């Protein structure tokens, strides 16, 4: 079956512009996660959705970052007024919540802020 898909695969933007990153989870997966991986650094958690609600937003680095999920499926991560330090690979994962939840990751969106 289809895995997690993300779009665009690459995005180049100018400092100060807004960007939207999209994630299509695996069908039926109610949990959705956003992570980011900066160059030379590990993966860091950003936000977790269960259905359309976000019980854990603790990883969002600033109020320029927001995310929403509609219909319990597609999610959009929005970064406003992008800064150069926002350059990273943004990864989305989804899972069906059982007690030993396995997360399935998409290929990521590589964001470069000039």
Partner 1 sequence: DAKTTQPNSMESNEEEPVHLPCNHSTISGTDYIHWYRQLPSQGPEYVIHGLTSNVNNRMASLAIAEDRKSSTLILHRATLRDAAVYYCILRDQAAGNKLTFGGGTRVLVKP
Where along the sequence are the contacts to partner 1 (CB under 8 A)? 4, 31, 33, 35, 42-45, 48, 50, 56, 59, 91, 93, 95, 97, 99-108
Angstrom distances, CA of residue 38 to CA of 75, 81, 87: 21, 18, 7
Nearest to partner 1 of 12, 18 (CB atom): 12
Q: How far is the CB of 28 from partner 1 (least distance, A)?
A: 16
Q: How far is the CB of 59 from partner 1 (least distance, A)?
A: 7
* Six token digits for residue 62: 């600033």
Q: How far is the CB of 23 from partner 1 (least distance, A)?
A: 11
Ramachandran angles phi, psi of 4, nearest 5°: -75, 130
Cβ atoms of 24 and 93 within 8 Å: the answer is no
DSSP tag of 4 = -
Nearest to partner 1 of 75, 95 (CB atom): 95
């Amino acid at each position: 079956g289809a895995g997690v898909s993300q779009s665009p695969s690459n995005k180049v933007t100018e400092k100060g512009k807004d960007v939207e990153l999209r994630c299509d989870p695996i069908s039926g997966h109610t949990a959705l996660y956003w992570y980011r991986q900066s160059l030379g650094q590990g993966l860091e958690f950003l936000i977790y959705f269960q259905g359309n609600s976000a019980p854990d937003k603790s990883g969002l680095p600033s109020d320029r970052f927001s995310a929403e999920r509609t219909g319990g499926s597609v999610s959009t991560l929005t970064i406003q007024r992008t800064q150069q330090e926002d350059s990273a690979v943004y990864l989305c994962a989804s899972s069906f919540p059982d007690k030993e939840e396995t997360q399935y990751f998409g290929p990521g969106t590589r964001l470069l802020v000039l």
